[in-house]
Amino acid sequence: MMWPRSGSMSLLALFFFNLLLMSTCYAQDQAPKAYQMEEVRVVASPIIQGNQLDRYASQKTTVSEDQIQDLNAGVNISRYNPIGSFGGAEGGAIFIRGQGSSRPGSEIKTLVDGVPMYMSVWNHPLLDMMSINAAHTIEVFKSPQPQYFGNAFAVVNIVPKRAETEGFATRVQTAGGSYNTFIANGDHGAKLGPWDYYVGGAYRASDGDRDDSDGELKDAFGRIGYQLSPNWNLSVFSLWNDNYARDPGEKGADPALQQGKYETRSLMAVATAANRYDKAEGYVKFYRNGGEGDWLDHPLSASVKEDLYNDFLFYGVKARETFHFWKGGEIITGLDWDYTEGDYKQDLSNGTTDKWNGEDYIIVSPYAAVSQLIGQKDGFFVIPSAGARYYDNNEFNAEWAPHAGVILGYKETELHAGYSKGIIYPGLDVMVFSEKTIPALRDSWKDLNAEKVDHYEIGIRHRFGQLAMADLTFFYDDGKDRYVIIPPPPPPPVYENVEKYQTKGVEATLSVQPLKNLALFGGVTYLETDPSDLPYAPEFTASAGLNWRFLEHFKLSLDCQYVSDFYTGSQARRLNTENTTEVDNYFLVNGKLSYLFDVASWGMNAELFLAGENLTDADYEYRPNYPMPGILMENRS
C-alpha cells in the first residue's frame, strides 16, 4: 500500500508544547445513571486509521486527526519546498496507484466536505488549498466508486471538524525552527444544546532549505450547526486560504530558469440540510467555491517573464438519500448538479497583455445503487450489490458508469470482489489550449469523449478479534480514451481519444494492537504499469509505524517508508510522449517523542514533545536535481 509521508520537511523538533482545553459537560437535572464504559484506546493506529469496506465491495482509506497530529501521514505527493507546494509546471501534485500524473488535467479530484477544490482552468489539484488544519479525517478513495462520486477515477476528500459532544474544547499549537520555519494553529469548538460550532485557523511559513524555496500558508475555517428537530440538522461550513510557494529550480542551475512563484487563494461555503430517520438518512448540500491560482515571474524566454492570473469558480447541489425499507436491504439514490467556470489574464514583462474570457460547463449525474445482506454477520453471510451513475454533460456525450460487487463472509473473514467503471470528462484545459495556447487545434476538442477506466478488484480481510486486522487486495485498471494532442503531419494538430494504459498490483496491510498502549502498522504495495514509464508509479512501496504509550506520561510515534525507483514529470497529453527522467529509491524514518500531562488548575491537557522527519538524513528527490531537506531543527511551544 502506498502511504509515503505527506510532508517533506524532515524536522527535528525541540520544546514542542501542545495545549488542549476541555470544559466539563453541562449537568443534567436527573438521577445519575450507571454506565458500562468501553475500554478506551490509549493510542491510535499509526499511519492510517484504517481501510473501510462498504456494502458495495468498495474500499476507502481514512487518515484521522490522530495520524495527522502524530506524524502527518498522507498519500503519495510531489513537492519542492518544506512549507507550501508550488502549483505550476510539475509542482505539488498527488498520486494514487499511478493515477494523477496528467498535466494539465488529472484523473484525481480533490474535495473539501465533498465540494470541488482544485484549479478548474488547468483541471488539476493544488495541494496548498487542501487545508489539513480543518480536517477531522482525510478520506482516500483509490478507485472509481460511482455510488459516492463522479467525474474522477480517484478522490481525496477532507471531512471538516465539528463539535459532537456537549461542552467546549480548545487546541493551540505553535512551532519555530530551522530556516525561519514558523507554525501556529489552533481551533475551538462547542456543542450547546441544539447548537454546535467550530472555528480555527493556521499559519505556516518557512524560508526553505535552499534559496527561493520559501513558502507561506494561511487558512481559517468555521462551521455552525443547528439541530432543527430530532430528524433534521442544518449546518454551514466555510473555508478561506491564502498561500504561496516559490520554485527553487534545479540545484546548481541558472537562477533565471526558476519557474517563479505560485499563489493560491480560495473561499468556499457549504450549506447542508441533513436528515436521519429509522428507515432513511441523507442530505442536501448547496455549495460555492471560488478562488485564484496565480503563476508569477514565470520565464517564457530569456528576456520575457509571465504573470498568469487564473480564476476558478464551482457551485452546485449534491443530494443523497439512503433507504432501509426491508431487513438487510439498502437503496442509495442521489443527484449531483455541478457547475464549473474559469478564466485567466496574462501580463508579460515586455508590456504585452492578453486574457482568456473563460468557458464553463455543467454536469448533471443522478445515481442509484442497491445492496442486500443475506445471512447474519456473526455467521455465514453474502452481500451482493449493483448500481450505476448517469452523466449528462452540456459539452460532451452522455455516459453511464455501472458498478457491481459481492462480499462473502464468515464471522471475522470477508472476501470481496467488485467491478466499477470510472468516467472523467475533459476539463476547461482543452478549451483554453484550443483557444489560446495552440489555436491550430481549433474546435477539435468538441469531438472528444470522456476518458474511461474499467476497475476490477478482489480482496480478503480478516480480523483477529481485538488484536489485529489484515487486508490483502488485488486490483487491475484498464484505461482507455485518454485524450491527447496528435501533432502534424498532416496538419493541423488535433485532439483525439487514442491513448490506453493498464495498471495492476497488490496491496497488503496489517494493523496490530497487542497491548492497549501499543499499536503497530505495516503496508506494502507492488505495482505494474503499461506503459512502464508512467510517472510517480513506483514498482514497490513499503511503510511501517508504531504508536507506544509508556511510563504513564510518554508516547512514541515512529514511521518509516521505502519507495523504489520511479519515473517523474507529468504524463504529457501528446501522442507517443515518453518519460525519461527518473529518481532513485529512498528510505525515510520519522519520529515523535511526547510527554503528556494535565494542568489541573487550568482544566487542560498539554503535550511537550520532540519530533523529527528524515531522521537518517537520507538523500531523496521527487524530481531530479530537486533535493529534499535532510534533518532540520525546529522549536515548538
CATH code at position 241: 2.40.170.20
Distance between CA atoms of 373 and 615, rounded to whole angstroms? 48
Mean pLDDT over 532-555 rounds to 92
Do 23 and 68 form a contact (C-beta atoms < 8 A)?
Answer: no
Structural domain including 369 reads 11-26+44-636
> Strand pairing of 451-464 and 586-599?
unpaired
Residue 509 is which amino acid? T
Q: How confident is the model at residue 416 (pLDDT cuts 50, 70, 90)?
A: very high
Q: How confident is the model at residue 93 (pLDDT cuts 50, 70, 90)?
A: confident
Judged by average pLDDT, the poorest of 7-11, 262-266, 466-470 is 7-11
pLDDT of residue 223: 98
Q: Is residue 1 part of a domain?
A: no
Q: How confident is the model at residue 438 (pLDDT cuts 50, 70, 90)?
A: very high
Q: How confident is the model at residue 76 (pLDDT cuts 50, 70, 90)?
A: low
pLDDT of residue 34: 35
Q: Is residue 3 part of a domain?
A: no
Do 636 and 173 form a contact (C-beta atoms < 8 A)?
Answer: yes
pLDDT of residue 43: 78
Residue 166 is which amino acid? E
The alpha carbon torsion through 109, 115, 119, 123 (nearest 10 deg) reads 40
pLDDT at 27 over 80: no
Give the 3-state secondary structure percentages of the chain, helix then strand then coil, rounded to 5. Answer: 5, 60, 35
Average pLDDT across the chain, whole number? 88
Mean pLDDT over 312-332 rounds to 97
- The predicted model scores a pTM of 0.91
Q: Is residue 424 part of a domain?
A: yes
Distance between CA atoms of 635 and 356, rounded to whole angstroms? 46
pLDDT of residue 637: 36
Residue 382's alpha-carbon distances to 52, 95, 577, in angstroms, are 17, 33, 46
Mean pLDDT over 537-541 rounds to 94
Over residues 130-186, the pLDDT tens digits come to 998 999 999 999 999 999 999 999 999 999 999 999 999 999 988 777 788 888 999
Q: Is residue 428 part of a domain?
A: yes
Q: How confident is the model at residue 70 (pLDDT cuts 50, 70, 90)?
A: low
Q: Is residue 34 part of a domain?
A: no
pLDDT at 28 over 60: no
Angle CA 542–543–544, to nearest 5:
135
Residue 6 is which amino acid? S
pLDDT at 88 over 90: no
pLDDT of residue 71: 59
Q: How confident is the model at residue 632 (pLDDT cuts 50, 70, 90)?
A: low
Kindly report the three-state secondary structure assignment for every residue of 292-315: EEEEEEEECCCCCEEEEEEEEEEE
The alpha carbon torsion through 561, 85, 426, 399 (nearest 10 deg) reads 50
Supply φ then ψ for residue 139, to 5 degrees.
-100, 130
Name residue, grid cell 489485529: 468
Name residue, grid cell 530551522: 178
pLDDT of residue 4: 34
Distance between CA atoms of 553 and 565, rounded to whole angstroms? 40
pLDDT of residue 204: 94
Burial environment of residue 334 by CB neighbours within 10 A (0 to 12, 13 to 18, 19 or more): buried
pLDDT of residue 18: 46
pLDDT of residue 42: 65
DSSP code, position 214 = -
How far is C-alpha 420 from the geometric centre of its chain's CA atoms?
21
Kindly report the three-state secondary structure assignment for every residue of 46-64: CCCCEEEECCCCCEEEEEE
Over residues 355-367, the pLDDT tens digits come to 999 999 999 999 9
Q: Is residue 5 part of a domain?
A: no
Mean pLDDT over 47-69 rounds to 87
Domains contained in the chain, number: 1
pLDDT at 12 over 50: no
Distance between CA atoms of 547 and 328, rounded to whole angstroms? 37
The conformational region for residue 8 under phi > 0 = left, psi -120 to 50 = alpha, else beta, is: alpha
Do 426 and 419 form a contact (C-beta atoms < 8 A)?
Answer: no
Q: Is residue 4 part of a domain?
A: no
Q: How confident is the model at residue 427 (pLDDT cuts 50, 70, 90)?
A: very high
How far is C-alpha 561 from the geometric centre of its chain's CA atoms?
19
How far is C-alpha 370 from the geometric centre of its chain's CA atoms?
27
Q: Is residue 36 part of a domain?
A: no
Kindly state the cell numbers that stand for 227: 439541530
What DSSP element (H or E) covers 430?
A: helix 428-432
